[in-house]
Structure 1
Amino acid sequence: MATKETEETEELLKGQAEIWKYMLCFADSMALKCAVELHLADIINSHASPLSLSQIASSIVASDPLATPEISYLTRIMRLLVRRNIFAVHHSPDGGEPLYGLTHSSKWLLRDAEHTLAPMVLAELHKWMVDPWLCFSQGVKEGGDQFQKANGLDIWSFASRNPQFNQLFNNAMASTSKVIMKAVLSVYQDGFSSIESLTDVGGGIGGVISEIVKAFPHIKGINYDLPHVISTAPPYQGVTHIGGDMFEAIPKADAVFMKWILHDWDDKECVRILENCKKAIPEKTGKVILVEVILKADGDGPFDDTRFYFDLLMLAHTNGRERTEKEWKNILEEAGFPRYRVIALPALTSIIEAYPS
């Protein structure tokens, strides 16, 4: 009996510890946001060697002469980030100041790196994006759009009327696109080499389609998005920008590419978009290339937890959702795509290649 009671006590204690951890794990996010806002990874990287906190503080002042860094605050924030392996700390044997260096994690926070997640950190942890998460219980009770509950408009209308948010959002999407596209281009070369024209639906300012065309110059690229998005798109060689509404029509091409588009929408809206994709491609040789998350209930890979976080992120921001392979299959079949194949990527997402016949 004593052993059973002891085990129960230990399990309750573990449970208490878990609740404390999950209650306060937003501290990791806020410390991460602080690191990006202060350019901590960039400062360390620019010196090509680990730095003391006083050296980091001096660099903060150099970039912002009005700043008066509080070293004790920085010490406590860096202590947590070191514990999370975002930064590394090197203690001097002679008792000098500890030196802070980069890790494989903090290298993803370098703003000027070709592949960086820094803009995504700034966007997802901005008040506009965080506030909808606070509406979940209200959403459970009455449904609706969580972003609209928090900000007064759905995310797309908000972006069209708020240039600052539009830029924040587009920068985030552009940075994550580069990260995902590096994986796509490394795995899917045969898939692109067989087509001559490609429409990127929801392509934002054209970063993705420009990378594809650069890698495969024979492809005629079409970047298709809402007019207010296209209005800010720079010119790219081999790419035509077209403004429009994917719920109405999609420019014709040999294939349609959509990266992280359908997860923004419910099943009926996804079917409608895919039906328009089917009209835009050749019946016998056309295909739709989806780059999306595939949820695995029993997955234990490095990205599997994050995929479930993304499902709630979609609930918070677009009223969309991430899906299991079975759910993707059902949507594709309803839209007229009886065949598909999944291609794994070294990334958060996978490729789903769908065919109309």
Structure 2
Amino acid sequence: MGENAMVEEEALMLQGQADIWKYMFHFADSMALKSAVELRIPDIIHRHDGPITLTQITTSLPDATSPDPTYLARIMSLLVRRNIFSAHHPSDGGDTLYGLTHSSRWLLSDSAVNLAPMLLLENHPTLLAPWHYLSHCVREGGEAFKKTHGGDIWALASESPHFNKLFNDGMACTARIVMEAIILAYKEGFESIGSLVDVGGGTGGTVSKIVKAYPHIKCINFDLPHVVATAPEHDGVTHVGGDMFHSIPNADAVFMKWILHDWSDEDCIKILKNCKKAISKEKGKVIIVEFVLKPEGKGLFDDTAFVFDLVMIAHTSGKERTELEWKNLLKEAGFPRYQIINIPSFLSIIEAYPA
């Protein structure tokens, strides 16, 4: 090996070491971000209508009995490096001013679209614990969540009102974000149908957006009885409790956002076959909103899709799928035709037809 090759190899090994250190402590980013949300730091800065000092943040912390500004300074330093917050150092030597960035604006609690509830859900101890069982799943199969908690995530939600609310709030906040993109990008898809059932629609936030934008559509929000029991009333929406593995209410179209990724191929085929029974063979369709894995993808959210595939191992029995996997799944369930519609979102629309 020549001298130049040796220098290059040493540089690559050093970079490799740096990468391992970075990934070893990636959880620190999540914990710092979670603490900022719990402390309502984005909201505090937003209320001041501009960048503020650490002292101003500390004195505005909710329920703070004896706040420690040195801890906060260290947390903010990391979050500034991650571009979650901005930091301006006055030339006169005054206190550093911390401001919002395009990232932290997604964490404002009073914003119509914000990711704070999803961040708190995914970083809750209940959902973090199964991640320690990934290697167990490789060795012996099974589901990480069941290994950790003795039952699946749906059972826990039905038994724990606190976790059920945490889960529903997380799902609702992502629904609002995705639906803004869908409402704008899928206009022709909605205009052609008269009735729609949202399968696994949670508390109805998603379908309420659809009926508000397209009031001619008769909408049904369909989910497990304990979920719809806590659902608020929405104009033009009928809540129906049931089990998608048994039957699905009839409609021109079935809408499923972030549902099939929670389930195995076998379970997805059962759900899709029930979808097929619920729609007409001639004009019916199933509107699936999910990730489409792109192994060589370089898009904004392609990396996130592969992270979510591991989220599925940790929390469900499901998986994220490539286009070929979606094609094979749909074909086996009785949907020989499909098209993928890209929208400005982290998810895509997969339109499936029974004929």
Q: TM-score, normalised by structure 1?
A: 0.98
Name the % identity: 60
Query: 2:135 is aligned with what amino acid?
Result: S
CA apart distance, 1:48? 0.5
* Residue identity matched to 1:267: D
Q: Structure 2, unaligned stretches of length 5 or more? A: none
**Counterpart residue type for residue 58 of structure 2:** A
Q: State the Cα deviation string for residues 264-298 of structure 1 (Å, max 9, x = none).
A: 00101111100000000011000000000000000
Residues 1-357 of structure 1 mapped to structure 2, 5 A cutoff: 1-60=2-61, 63-64=62-63, 66-357=64-355
Task: Give the residue type in structure 1 aligned to 2:26.
Answer: C
- The whole-number CA distance in structure 2 between the counterparts of 1:134 and 1:257 is 34
Question: 2:152, 2:97 → 1: CA distance?
Answer: 45
1:9-61 alpha-carbon deviations (Å, 9 max, x no partner): 1111111111111101111110000011000000000110111010000100x
Structure 1 residue runs of 4 or more that deviate by more than 6 Å after TM superposition: none
> Cα distance, 1:148 vs. partner?
1.3
- Return the alpha-carbon distance in structure 1 between the equivalents of residues 53 and 342 of structure 2: 42
The Cα offsets for residues 95-116 of structure 1, whole Å up to 9 and x where unpaired, read as 0100000000000000110000
- Rounded to whole Å, the distance in 2 between the matches of 1:151 and 1:172 is 20
Partners of 1:27 and 1:319 lie apart in 2 by 27
Normalising by the residue count of structure 2, what TM-score does the alignment of the two structures yield? 0.99
Q: Which whole-Å CA distance do the structure 2 matches of 1:290 and 1:67 have between them?
A: 48
| Partner AA of 1:311 in structure 2 | D
- Alignment-mate amino acid for residue 79 of structure 2: L
Query: 1:2: Cα distance to partner?
Result: 2.3
Q: How many residues align structurally?
A: 354
Partners of 1:2 and 1:93 in 2: CA distance: 46
Helix, strand or coil at the partner of 1:204: coil
Structure 1 CA distance for aligned equivalents of residues 6 and 233 of structure 2: 69
AA aligned opposite 1:16: Q
Q: Hey, what's the Cα distance between the residues in 2 that align with 1:3 and 1:94?
A: 47
| Amino acid corresponding to residue 280 of structure 1 in structure 2 | A
In 2, the alpha carbon distance for the partners of 1:204 and 1:349 equals: 18
Q: Deviations over 1:64-115 (max 9, x none)?
A: 1x52111110001000000000000011111010000000000000011000
What SS does structure 1 have at the residue aligned with 2:60?
A: helix
The Cα of 1:152 is off from its aligned counterpart by 2.0
CA shift, 1:134, in A, is 0.8
- Displacement, 1:350? 0.3
Could you tell me which amino acid in structure 2 is paired with residue 47 of structure 1?
Answer: H
Q: CA deviation at 1:257?
A: 0.1
Name the aligned partner's letter for residue 193 of structure 1.
E
Structure 1 gaps, min length 5: none
Q: Deviations over 1:281-318 (max 9, x none)?
A: 01100000000000000000111111111110111101
Measured after TM superposition, the shift of residue 145 of structure 1 is 1.1
Secondary structure at the counterpart of residue 341 of structure 1: strand
- Superposition RMSD in Å: 0.7
Distance in 1 (CA, whole Å) between partners of 2:168 and 2:177 is 14
CA deviations 1:226-260 (Å, max 9, x no partner) are 00101100111111000000000000000000000
